[in-house]
Amino acid sequence: MKEKIEVDIRVPNQTRYLSLIGKIGEEIARTLKKYKGDRNELAYHINIVLTEAMANAIRHANEGDPRKEVHITIAIKQKCLHIRVFDEGQGFDISSLPAPDFEDLDEHGRGVYIIRSLMDRVSYKKYNGGHVLEMVKTLS
């Protein structure tokens, strides 16, 4: 039987929901029947990329406006995990961000690097008046 899962969540544009969304991502990773890798590691990685992507959407794209919302979809299809984080803002072009300088002890600038390191494909596009950050990981 094919394993198809799709979860669609909307939360207010507030960091207090990071933990909830991260945990939902973790639980989805733990339910995957066919994944042969380290399930705990995958769960942790999904938690972290969801947290980083949502925090970017809340603070940068949606500019901390509590009236806005963040929309997240998590889907398993064709042996891939697809995570999409939609914002309602002007966007922040992740492709323009340089890789962090490991020698320079900057307080910021590690989030997108973490996402890129843990996922196989990452893109950021205009969508419906806002933007969508799409992250894909192959589950084989």
DSSP structure class, residue 67? T
Closest approach of another protein to the CB of residue 13, in Å:
12
The reply to whether 39 sits near another protein by the rule CB under 8 A is no
Classify 112 as helix, strand or coil.
helix
**Nearer CB in complex with another protein: 45/71:** 45
CB atoms within 10 A of CB 75: 17
Q: With binding defined as CB under 8 A, does residue 105 bind another protein?
A: yes
Give the x/- contact pattern for another protein in 119-138, rule: CB under 8 A.
Answer: --------------------
Q: Give dist(CA 53, CA 72) in Å, integer.
A: 10
Residue whose CB is less far from another protein, 14 or 128: 14
Q: Pick between residue 111 and residue 130 the one whose CB is nearest to another protein.
A: 111
β strands within the chain, DSSP E? 5-12, 69-77, 80-87, 121-127, 130-138
Compute the least distance from the CB of residue 62 to another protein, in Å: 13
Q: In terms of DSSP bridges, do strands 69-77 and 5-12 run parallel, antiparallel, or are they unpaired?
A: antiparallel
| Distance, C-alpha 45 to centroid of its chain | 10
Choosing from 58, 72, 76, 81, the residue that interacts with another protein (CB under 8 A) is 58
Instruction: Give dist(CA 72, CA 49) in Å, integer.
Output: 12
Of the candidates 5, 8, 10, 19, which one interacts with another protein according to CB under 8 A? 19
Select the residue interacting with another protein from 13, 62, 85, 111 (CB under 8 A).
111
Of 3 and 41, which has the nearer Cβ to another protein?
A: 41
